[in-house]
Amino acid sequence: MFAGTSDNILAFGGNTESNGATWSDGMTHIDVGGSHEENPNEGVQLGVDNQGTPNLVEEGEVIYNDYVFSNRLTVPVIKKKKDLSQEEKVLKKYSDNTYAKAAKRAEKDSGVTDRPNDSIAKRGFEAALQILAASQEREREKEKLRELQEAIDNMSPEELAAFQQ
């Protein structure tokens, strides 16, 4: 061992952290702040939009390329066993998890945290996230339709007549 060095610094080839550079796969994990209901600000603020409205997320969500993966909506369960499309294979792999957990698993499965410059791992990771994002948008639309149907079902006859006009 040389003075001022630790044992076997990668066989004396030096530190592999590239002179202090920090590598990131581009995913931001929101690990604190509570839910929208628990937080006094109704969420963790991450900037504001063009109209000055705060962009709010909650604990447990993850963000990739300005897209927020929900910690409330869940990936649908795929029951087919044969002839799955690439999208169905990805959804089946991560089904019955929230979209945030699925995105975190895709990050881990791809290896991009360990190999951020691996273009093949990154393409696979991004493809999985695109599939998850598209699925989440479909699930969000279904949720909106369910909420609208529930509101209509709970209307009085007078409210329903006014709504129809």
Residue-wise pLDDT for 40-56, tens only, equals 777 788 878 889 888 88
- pTM confidence score: 0.75
Q: How far apart are CA 74 and CA 99, in angstroms?
A: 6
Q: How far apart are CA 91 and CA 136, in angstroms?
A: 11
* Count of the separate structural domains present in the chain: 1
**Is 77 within the bounds of a domain?**
yes
- Pair 124, 106: CB distance under 8 Å: no
The H-or-E segment that residue 92 falls in is: helix 86-94
**Is 15 within the bounds of a domain?**
no
**Is 2 within the bounds of a domain?**
no
- Pair 70, 99: CB distance under 8 Å: yes
Q: Which domain holds residue 153?
A: 27-164
CB-based contacts of 165: which residues, under 8 Å, 6+ apart?
none
**Is 63 within the bounds of a domain?**
yes
**Is 126 within the bounds of a domain?**
yes
Q: Tens digit of pLDDT for each residue in 62-101?
A: 999 889 999 999 999 988 888 889 899 999 999 989 999 9
